[in-house]
Structure 1
């Protein structure tokens, strides 16, 4: 090797050492942040870090971001008085678990803030993190404490888990204190086990949502944020699971399961809600989509088991499968602006007490009827006994639609009632005696003999695929699904947490190797409750280890046969990883 090549290699090594910092203490972390430049990677040692307060105001670039990450995702824990502030550009933060908050949390300081030293973060990313019950103390439940505060533009929150939020404050919030567009991406996250603050029923206080995009003051400007492929499970806080308060946002491919509240288009215009699964599990005060504002499109959604009544049995005017509100006459931005030019097509409603609700209001100031609304090609299906059956509605018309473009067209129902459509154009709306839908493994599907096949009408440029990702035919079906289109998407389930959505699903596991399960070894049943069976076709199993999703070893045992039964009844519900020699497999305990 000649001297020139040797010098070049030494220079390259020096550059690499400058950009890669392995830190083991809070002081070393602060020094590494102060010295960081574009391309720097700061790696946090696997350990519990106490009272970490990160503030970084630096600029990376697309090719060379500044990254702060866990040595092994899930083995770095931030506890105590801790927060992360990011300002500048192309700052990435990943792999950390937040847990064990102090007795008193500073509610004015978000846990993660996309602003540092008055500088917003742009093109920044928080990914593969977990926030686990990092809540205020009991005396602070009504003080707003936000977990993630988005600012700036072109930022991303992805593949993260937000579990056990309690008290007032959004989990992810973009206040939008200016009218500039944001272009944020919020995707593949897991939101679970939120409970309403205090002892009151759901909806006692506002600001208990999972995601809020915008505020009333800037709601008439466009954000262009996309919220997709997220999973909301066992979630109860207020009427707004997602609160839209800005324009031109898209909400798609999300799953809501066992929840209360609704995806609410509270303020703003020109939004799209499509390809979402709402599986309310008959929870009181649950809905699909709640609508205010102009030029929205709601299509290809599957909505099952919503209940429009509170826990005490009284009817709420705020929820339902799709709830279209009346507007106010005063036009104030924080009020209920009238609904105009709304398109609701090709949605499927199953066993909902109220499917589509039109012209609801909380008080007499909401007197402006929805104007120019198209309601077409929707399926409303009932095959379950629902309480208060005499007052249930497939389509409830509280206030008649106005506008020459308003129409009810080719909607279908099996069982249930719909109200009079008045003088509004109504064609092709039919009752089907039987066979409209059939129960499937995850949701109700269109069977081969269904009258929904080819029953869709109208020309909608956005309606190119169905909820499962299959292509729509020229002669397309009613409802969210296109029969025979062979789409492969479906609702997320608990077994997908850590695999397709949430912490650990980004491809980096909490234990170093990727999960793999050879065909000669099987783990079943999945999900399980009490006992897990591990079997091998052609060899003894040997030693198995079970880890939780953070990589903590929970069980280790050895077996010299080709079948082993493992008692997991003492494990908590959640996602686990089983390792045996040359394979790994995730499993779920329900």
Structure 2
């Protein structure tokens, strides 16, 4: 017999909740806020809202400003949000319809209220910024949507749509060398167009995310960027611009995009388990590498093109592009690549798989990559070069080991240690849906070489065997992680996809929502005392939609006999709670 026990009850009231309907009421509520306060924004269009809150919440009792119903609160006109202090959460708001002239020096959201009051342990979640752009005449002025500062902050489950002009969408400028420990995850970045045109160009500051700057790039940030989805994103050569140390980029999907994930400055970063699906789009790559001690592994890279839209070539891109460095490079120059591992990546239909020693200026950018291992990579149908060597690797630890190609060309590896590199005519990969995977008897199976303690799973989340395969996939590992697609937006990533409750440990009732009995057997009842319920959805903990119904009823009975044991999320008209099936 199954029983349901609710972790959180949707009818719990918060005595610190304040419902506000005007800008003045909002300002007064912010002034009076203390740890544990929740400010609820009435469902309506709000004009010229300027929030500045500098308060101290706690982990157990944060201060929350949230939409009454996510997606039904709209901020328009001359609006901005400034967060200072600690444990401030901002949720559920849509930013749209900017004024004719935007103040480009003021971001939409800033994680500080003044130069001496940054926000720490703060969160912006479940918001949407929809084409909130400067006018045409201002496109060359830098307008950044979110300035991320402080430490231990989070930006999650949000959608950033239709950005144009110069300026990052999310920019942590790192004015100091203090570590940040930020988390940027489950966001949707879509439909960016470059400054002044729809064609990619060479103007800087047109990225989605930038972590750091040149002046503090040799210090560590410890930021993690994961489970984000970049779609139809065209700006500059850097979709993500890393300019600090010890950051991790993983489980992200890039689809129909130009540019690349770029380790521009900083050391000790990891890039793994990402899907790059360029689909033949011009000026597209996977990963660009500068700096030291990086690990690049388990990435699936398909359809990249190292050419401008006019078909002229660029030295800045490839599936993985390893740049030359500058001797005694300035902070804003090109640091030599050293002590870097590039292992177990898969390349499909890329004009250039891995390029070694890329340079924009052979006279100054002449320090070859040193002590770099390129091993266990698969190159499938790469029609120009599987591995292009424009500058030979240096250092006694450098080697090419157990890389396999089907079609394409390996350039000469010179005197660098090379062993086990194979060229096969067939059988390496096979199409499975939109992806290519290992078939039975693929030469990549059990062909991995080397000892890499970090190589525990494959790109699909399957567990690697002791005798592991070459490439990003481990044959037979049955991992279930797949690249994000458009059908995942609002379900797994982006605005509306959050499957967790607000950290104030409650869900504010709209008008008397109840779920009962608690515990129950076999049937879940969702009930509203006064209003009709428009929809109910149930998700598993990964965000997969399991049940959905639409009705204009006050009481909805749901048969859950077929549910397995585990944790689930019920969503009734936007109000969510976890429950357990036993």
Query: How would you bin the TM-score normalised by the shorter chain?
Result: 0.7 to 0.9
Quick one: distance in 1 between partners of 2:170 and 2:133?
14
Instruction: State the distance in 1 between where 2:291 and 2:187 align.
Output: 27
* 1:108 matches 2:130: no
What is the CA distance between 1:34 and its match in structure 2? 0.2
Determine the C-alpha separation between the residues in 2 that align with 1:326 and 1:42.
52
Match of 2:367 in 1: 368
Q: Which residue of 1 aligns with 2:82?
A: 85
**Which residue of the other structure, out of 465, 470, 480, is the alignment partner of 1:488?**
480
Contact 1:442 1:491 in 2 (8 A): no
Partner of 1:569: none
1:353-502 alignment, distance < 5 Å = 353-363=351-361, 364-382=363-381, 392-502=384-494
Residues 387-419 of structure 1: CA deviation (Å, up to 9, x unaligned): xx5xx1100000000000000000000001110
Hey, what's the Cα distance between the residues in 1 that align with 2:430 and 2:536? 38
The answer for the alignment partner of 1:225 in structure 2 is: 223
Q: What is the alpha-carbon distance in structure 2 between the residues aligned to residue 124 and residue 512 of structure 1?
A: 32
**Can you give the 5+ residue segments of structure 1 that lack an aligned partner in the other structure?**
1-12, 384-388, 518-522, 524-535, 546-578, 581-590
**Cα-Cα RMSD:** 2.2
3-state SS of 2:366 partner: strand
- Going from structure 1 to structure 2, the CA distance change for 1:133 and 1:334 (only over 3 Å counts) comes to same
Q: Does 1:167 align with 2:159?
A: no
SS of the residue corresponding to residue 24 of structure 2 reads helix
Deviates more, 1:440-449 or 1:419-428: 440-449
1:432 CA displacement: 1.1
CA distance in 2, matches of 1:266, 1:145: 21
SS at match of 1:139: helix
Alpha-carbon separation, structure 1, partners of 2:307 and 2:347: 17
Q: Which residue of the other structure, out of 71, 74, 77, is the alignment partner of 2:68?
A: 71
- How do 1:200-215 and structure 2 match up within 5 A? 201-215=199-213
2:340/2:371 contact within 8 Å kept: yes
Question: Which whole-Å CA distance do the structure 2 matches of 1:199 and 1:160 have between them?
Answer: 26
C-alpha contact 1:232 1:255 (8 A) present in aligned 2: yes
The 2-side partners of 1:512 and 1:213 are apart by 41
Distance, in Å, in 2 between the alignment partners of 1:46 and 1:345 is 50
Q: Does structure 1 retain, via aligned residues, the 8 Å contact 2:193–2:199?
A: no
Residue 9 of structure 2 is matched in structure 1 by: none
| Shift in Å, 1:63 | 0.2
SS in 2 for 1:217: helix
Any conservation in 2 of the 1:57–1:117 contact (CA below 8 Å)?
no
- Is the contact between residue 202 and residue 237 of structure 2 (CA under 8 Å) also seen in structure 1? no
Instruction: Indicate conservation of the 8 Å contact 2:246/2:270, yes or no.
Output: yes
Higher RCO, 1 or 2 (CA under 8 Å, sep at least 6)? Answer: 2
Deviations 1:548-568 (A, max 9, x none): xxxxxxxxxxxxxxxxxxxxx
CA contact (8 A) 2:199 2:234 kept: no
2:91 counterpart (91, 94, 117): 94
CA offset at residue 449 of structure 1?
Answer: 1.6
Query: 1:62 aligned to 2:59?
Result: yes
Return the alpha-carbon distance in structure 2 between the equivalents of residues 297 and 482 of structure 1: 19
- The reply on whether 1:515 has 2:537 as its aligned counterpart is yes
CA distance in 1, matches of 2:306, 2:228: 24
Distance 1:132 1:41 in 2: 25
Is residue 51 of structure 1 aligned with residue 48 of structure 2? Answer: yes
Which residue pairs with 1:23 in the alignment? 20
Asked if 1 retains the 8 angstrom alpha-carbon contact of 2:535 and 2:551, the reply is no
Secondary structure of 2:137's counterpart equals helix
Q: Within 1, Cα distance between the matches of 2:193 and 2:112? A: 28
Alignment of 1:301 with 2:299, yes or no, is yes
Contact 1:328 1:366 in 2 (8 A): yes
Contact 2:198/2:234 (CA < 8 Å) preserved in 1?
Answer: no
- Would the aligned equivalents of 2:227 and 2:251 in 1 still touch at CA under 8 Å? yes
Identify the residue that residue 526 of structure 1 maps to in structure 2.
none
The CA deviation string for residues 85-140 of structure 1, in whole angstroms up to 9 with x for no partner, is 00000000000000000000000000000001330000000000000000001110
Query: Structure 2 vs 1, CA of residues 200 and 159 (structure 1 numbering), >3 Å: closer, same or farther?
Result: closer
Counterpart Cα distance in 1 of 2:266 and 2:322:
14
* CA–CA separation in structure 2 for the residues paired with 1:69 and 1:289: 37
Q: Distance in 2 between matches of 1:150 and 1:367?
A: 35
Work out the CA distance in 1 between the residues paired with 2:246 and 2:14: 43
Structure 2 distance, partners of 1:167, 1:512, is 39
Secondary structure class of the residue paired with 2:215: helix
CA–CA separation in structure 1 for the residues paired with 2:360 and 2:311: 17
CA displacement at 1:433 relative to structure 2? 1.2
Partners in 2 of 1:144 and 1:154 — Cα distance? 26
Pick the aligned partner of 2:247 from 221, 237, 249. Answer: 249
| 8 A contact 1:72–1:512 mirrored in 2 | no
Tell me the secondary structure at the aligned position of residue 31 of structure 1.
helix
- Matched position secondary structure for 2:354: strand
Residues 134-153 of structure 1: pairs in structure 2 closer than 5 A: 134-153=132-151
**Aligned-pair distance for 1:203?**
2.6
TM-score (norm 1): 0.83
SS state at 1:303 partner: strand
Contact residue 266 and residue 290 of structure 1 kept, 8 A: yes
Deviations 1:56-98, CA, capped at 9 Å, x for gaps = 0001000000000000000000000000000000000000000
